[in-house]
A and B are shown apart, each in its own frame.
Chain A
Amino acid sequence: MTVAVNPSQTGEPVFYLADEHPHPEGYSTSLGFWIYLMSDCLIFAMLFAAFGVLGANYAAGPAPKDLFELPLVAVNTSMLLLSSITYGFAMLTMQQNKIAQTQMWLAITGLFGLAFIGIELSEFAHMIHEGATPQRSAFLSSFFTLVGTHGLHVSCGLIWLVTLMVQVWKFGLIEANRRRLMCLSMFWHFLDVVWIGVFTFVYLLGVLR
């Protein structure tokens, strides 16, 4: 702790603390991570706004009704929802210090996330094969940007998940790893929240239009 001296007019030195008092490591990580998530939320809000403005401009191309298969979207939604609850179980077993079970639930979460990405990519591939590419219309540009950005986030989450599984395997459930797992938990559940917006506003309202 540094103490700075500031000579006052009377010649008597005035002391004050120049440093903040120390915080334990990771003290404000979860708040900081929450603020990151909120900024991420703004990115998605802008993409939703773009989709809301452009979502009906089909340029005589395919409309949501011709492209979206709701049963597939329902399966995809359940994959993400299931991965959310299994991540919750991973957090619960982590709190009980059960490393093997934590790893197992993390692996199951990863598999559900992988299934989600796989279904989404096959849906994209099917659409592109039918000529519904991002270049086709403003609706498709904004659709691929919004849903693709979400998919990219989930893919990053999967990489993060595997990284943390290796960390836990090598170092166990140390304090730092618990903190990291908690951040990923927030990230993962946040992506599920964004997906609620996607399946409601893009898929369900799109088919309804």
Chain B
Amino acid sequence: MSTDTHAAHADDHHHDDGHAHSTFSGYMLGFVLSVVLTAIPFWLVMSGALPSKQITALVIMAFAVVQIVVHMIYFLHMSPKSENGWSMMALIFTIVMVVIALSGSLWVMNHLNSNMMPMHEMTGMK
């Protein structure tokens, strides 16, 4: 138990200079995962392997999300512990802002289009 806390402390201290997990195997694992996660969506779109476009779109978006997480962990060395959790807090705040802004913009603007009065009705209203 005491060795455990010691290890955790050493880890904490190491996190302060920001490049805690930089190891060759970590970078290589991240790189291989990224190559696979990039190659599959390109292949799916270029070959049209999946029958429906909607399914292909959902699958490649899922691949993008997974690859972003891989980059965050293996290249940007994000962890809940780095900078005593402050960088994770900043990240979560940013993600919340991005989700609100993106989904809000798309939602509102799409509805704006469909709620627009059709052209022929508009001309008849004069």
In B91-126, the 8 Å CB interface with A consists of 91, 93-94, 97-98, 101-102, 105-106, 109
With contacts A52-B106, A81-B34 taken as known, whether A204 is within 8 angstroms of B19 at the C-beta atoms is no
Assuming A89-B27, A91-B22, is B45 touching A31 (CB within 8 A)? no
Using an 8 Å CB-CB cutoff, how does the interface string of A11-46 with B read, 1 for contact, 0 for none? 000000000000000010011001100100110011
Residue of A nearest to B63 (CB): A200
Cβ-based interface call for B81 (8 A): no
Q: Is there contact, CB below 8 Å, between B61 and A200?
A: yes
Among A106-114, A124-132, A144-152, A185-193, the stretch in contact with B:
A185-193
Partner of A85, one of B22, B27, B109: B27
Q: Is the CB of A52 within 8 A of B105?
A: yes
Q: A182–B71 contact, CB under 8 A?
A: no
Bound-state Cα–Cα, A189 to B63, Å: 18
When distances are taken between beta carbons in the complex, the residues of chain B under 8 Å from A89 are 24, 27
Q: Is the CB–CB distance between A196 and B71 below 8 Å? A: yes
Fill in one digit per residue for A55-83: 1 if any B CB lies within 8 Å of its CB, else 0: 00000000000000011011001100100
Bitwise, B13-43 to A at CB < 8 A (1) or not (0) is 0001111001110011011001100100110
Within the complex, which residue of B22, B38, B90 is in contact with A77, where a contact is CB–CB below 8 Å?
B38
Among A30, A38, A74, A199, which residue has its beta carbon within 8 angstroms of that of B93?
Answer: A38
A189 and B68 alpha carbons, distance in the complex (Å):
10
A197 contacts which chain B residues (CB < 8 A)?
Answer: 64, 68
The verdict on A159 contacting chain B, using a C-beta distance below 8 Å, is no
> Is residue A53 within 8 Å, beta carbon to beta carbon, of the partner chain?
yes
A143 part of interface (Cβ distance < 8 Å)? no
Q: Which residue of A lies closest to B24 (CB)?
A: A92
B57 within 8 A of A: yes
Query: CA separation between A70 and B60, bound complex, in Å?
Result: 14
CB <8 Å contact, B53 and A208: yes
Q: Are A85 and B31 in contact (CB under 8 A)?
A: yes
Q: Told that A38-B90, A88-B75 touch, could you supply 19 new A-B pairs with CB distance under 8 A?
A: A30-B18, A30-B87, A31-B83, A49-B102, A49-B106, A50-B105, A52-B102, A70-B42, A71-B46, A73-B42, A77-B42, A91-B22, A92-B23, A95-B19, A182-B18, A189-B71, A193-B72, A200-B63, A208-B60
Q: Which residues of A contact B (CB under 8 A)?
A: 27, 30-31, 34-35, 38, 41-42, 45-46, 48-50, 52-53, 70-71, 73-74, 77-78, 81, 84-85, 88-89, 91-92, 95, 182, 185-186, 189-190, 192-193, 196-197, 199-201, 204-205, 207-209
Could you pull out 5 A-B pairs where Cβ atoms are within 8 angstroms? A52-B102, A53-B105, A73-B42, A92-B27, A196-B71
